[in-house]
Amino acid sequence: MKSRTAPSGPAATPPLWHSLASDAVFATLSSSPAGLSDTEAARRLADVGANEFAVTPVTPWWRVLLRQFISPLIAILLVAAIVSLLQEHYVDSVAIMLILAINAALGFVQESKAERDVRALQSFSAPYCRVVRDGTERVLPGRDLVPGDVVLLESGERVPADLRLFASNALQVDESMLTGESFAATKHTDPLAENVVDADKTNVAFSGTFVGSGRGRGVVIATGADTALGEINTLIQVPSTQTPLQLLTRSLERRIGAAVLGALVFIFIAGIGLGHDAATLFRTAVALAVATIPESLPIVLTVALSVGVSRMAKRNAIIRILPAVETLGSTNVIGSDKTGTLTENQLTVERVWTTAGLLNIVSDDDDGGTKDPTLVRAVLRAGALTNEATLSAEEGNDEYSGDAVDAAMAKVAVDRGSITVRERTAPAVAHQPYEPQLRYSQTIHADEHGRRILYVKGSPEAILAASAAVAQEGGDGPLDESLIHAANVEMGAEGLRVIATGSRVVGDDERLVLPLPPPSGLTFLGLEGMTDPPRDGVAEAIRRCQQAGITVKMITGDHPVTATAIAERLGLASGKQALTGAEMTGLDDHMLSARLAETNVAARVSPEDKLRIVRVLQSTGQIVAVTGDGVNDAPALKAAAIGVAMGRSGTDVAREAADLVLTDDNFVTIVHAVEEGRVTFAAIRKTTFFLLSTGAAALVAVTLSVFAGTPLLFLPVQMLWMNVVTNGVQDIALAFEPAEGDELTRPPRPRSEGLLSRTLWFRAGITGAWMALAVLLSFIVELHAGSSEVHARTVALTIFVMLSFFQVFSARAEHKSLFQLRLLANKPLLYTSLGALLAHWAVMTWPVSAQLLGLTPLTAWEWLLCIGVGSTVLIIVEAEKAVRRWSRRHHPDTDET
């Protein structure tokens, strides 16, 4: 993230506030610890503007709505609807208009969410803050802050602007929403090196973060758009990218629209040349357009995606935008935040070191502490007594609140029986809380023998300097600093935060002095190593992602050592050093792409860095999903093909920028979402295959009949009925097709592959051609046999209905045989298909409908003939599948796409 600037006046080079001493900061800003005068503050407010974010003007709703109708397929359907209305085919006209309305509504909702993203981000601005003006403390609206104002901070307050701190008393700020750090940042006032990243700017408090504990004072160095949060606001207002499904659907619509228009114009002109009636040909063209164009495809997409949404909701994944269901299924890279996503976002003590050795207290053979060595129990007890964490008052809740380190040490000691809750909460004789500049806390407690015991915990260096001996199994021994130092380095290299403990007996003759003097003469007890542990099941989820051909990359603002340690535990380590934000500044996009190909960990990255990583991955053809929970994740969430936010711990900004929200904040849920996404896309693909093959069959059959010189194969009203009975509801029912079971054993669909694979295009071609040929031949045979045109059309139409009946069932599986699937696995498809046959039989039998449609009843023998011809399409598909399965077994490297 670039250096913050103060918009208080022109400057050739923006000041590096973190590298300046406090006096220099005040001098540069023409301010002082007494703050600005009201007059000067008003002048600066008029100059730089309010401390709030600029919002990009929102596109008018009517323009967003009109954009949803810019499509060749939509244009054709609009014409068909208008012509149907003019011809008084009201049902068809209303149905087409309804389809168009649903499709437009989905797109409208997709684009309208951009404004909500910005509104959510603005909620992080502090409404009021405490400011020093003219040497007097007062409360002002946060929007009135200007560079040079002096702001007071206390525990529980939100930082109202970017501040350069000049006074700090045990000040700790939770910056996880910006930096991804697991630990609260301890703040001080000393100048820093010029090239430190935002996460290491310990003398700066950033706008929107929370003060966890302590107090401080800072001078405003940036407001509004110039703050860290303001830059994220700018990044998040980039346009959302279209999902792969949307791109594929638009491409297919253009191809279908061009093909159908060309064919209809050709049929009309050729028909006129062959002597057919122009009015009849025009009505035929309109009816054929309705029968051929898969106008139900938008509804099928909606239904399939909605079914996917319902299935995913049952697995703790909430979809905000319907196309995201499929997008996650086609993702081949997941860029995941670490803190709170891959990890618990809660510190846990994992290792305890004493002179007896290193104990892993979270190992598989952990006995819960009942057999912990005496030395380990002493370490845990000391950590729990010099401690300010409080146990939740809620019954049955054993969680601790307060400083994350204190909470972790208190919990492990109580859980393992090293100390009881009553002992831990007993009043201390004396207590000195942790001070960052001292790097230790200490407390005096009375033991069961009435002795006063001084317990101290803090940095290993501070405790070691105050120690005179080290605890051993047989009693205190001589202090071995090299041994302790080696243990500290080893635990730190594993990404653990290391805290040391020590103790000594306070003599009866020692007078208690408050505040407590610096500790001395301690017995060094040992070390506690803690970290934010991986969530249960995440390692297995990552393994399943890798099995499914999905690369998982950790992208975090946390320290590289910590990130790498967690990555190794999760199976993400690639053997290469973690990429860092500082390293990225020296890499162009090509070099960054190569670096990303060799590592799965990016650490100490800013929001701009994370956004750049996403864009570079996408530029190489990857379909990228990004997970996150903080404000710092929002730009990348919005720019990715799909953003996945945490529902429990996530910020409103992250959730509003995301397409998918995990209600359990669990990365494991993403694997379930991937599976459901692939199931959903498979259902869309199967339905599209069915619609295209039957539509192509109708188009080819009618076209050939025009050139064959026969009477019209189907009357316009018959083609409208054919559209209803062959795919009016079966295609929608096909969208309910469940999983086949092998979704996570296949690699992601290649991005170059369209909505249909080459296999399905080939299958649609051969089955569509056969269906067209079978229908036309049956019509010609019936005419040559002396049947009337009415009877011949009835036989041809019924054969087309039966061909579509068997085709929809063959479409249930792309590779498996239909006979390997359970017949009742998709009950809606079975019932709607049988219902369509019954409806067709009914309209042929009832004299009124038969006369209206120009049909006549068929004999039982003729029905058997139609069923037999119709089943041939199933035989063709099953034979083609069998050949492909044989080919895969004997030539496994063959490309089957």
- Single-letter residue type at 462: A
Q: If we measure between CA atoms, which residue out of 235, 221, 227 comes closest to residue 52?
A: 227
Instruction: Decide: 243 and 324 in contact? Cβ < 8 Å.
Output: yes
> Does the annotation mark 337 as catalytic?
yes
Cα four-point dihedral sign 836, 841, 847, 853: positive
End-to-end Cα distance, the chain: 43
From 149, 337, 406, 633, the catalytic residue: 337
Nearest alpha carbon to residue 435 among 662, 187, 129, 246: 187
Please tell me the distance from the alpha carbon of residue 571 to that of residue 420, in angstroms, as a whole number. Answer: 37
Contact 617, 333 (CB under 8 A): yes
Distances (CA, A) of 761 to 235, 676, 688, 692: 41, 24, 10, 9
Q: Which residues pair with residue 163 across a beta bridge?
A: 205, 220
Q: Are 298 and 691 in contact (CB under 8 A)?
A: no
Residue 647 in 3-state DSSP?
coil
d(CA 270, CA 708) in angstroms, rounded, equals 11
Q: In this structure, what DSSP letter does residue 198 have?
A: G
Separation between Cα atoms, residue 540 and residue 546, nearest integer Å: 10
Q: How many helices (H) and strands (E) does the chain have?
A: 32, 26
504-513 burial, b if ≥16 CB within 10 A, otherwise e? bebeeeeeee
CA–CA gap between residue 345 and residue 183 (Å, rounded):
9
Is residue 154 within a helix (H) or strand (E), and if so which, with residue range? strand 150-154
Of 408, 285, 294, give the one whose Cα is nearest residue 344: 408
Instruction: Please give the Cα distance from 598 to 577 (Å, whole number).
Output: 9
Pick the closest to residue 689 from 812, 821, 817 (CA basis): 812
Cβ 134 vs Cβ 334: under 8 Å: no
Distance CA 637, CA 659 (A): 8
- Residue 72 region by backbone torsions, left for phi larger than 0, else alpha for psi between -120 and 50, else beta: alpha
Exposure string (b/e) for 590-601, b if CB count within 10 Å is 16 or more? eebbebbeebbb
Could you please report the per-residue DSSP string of 274-319?
A: TT--HHHHHHHHHHHHHHHS-TTHHHHHHHHHHHHHHHHHTTTEEE
Catalytic residues: 337
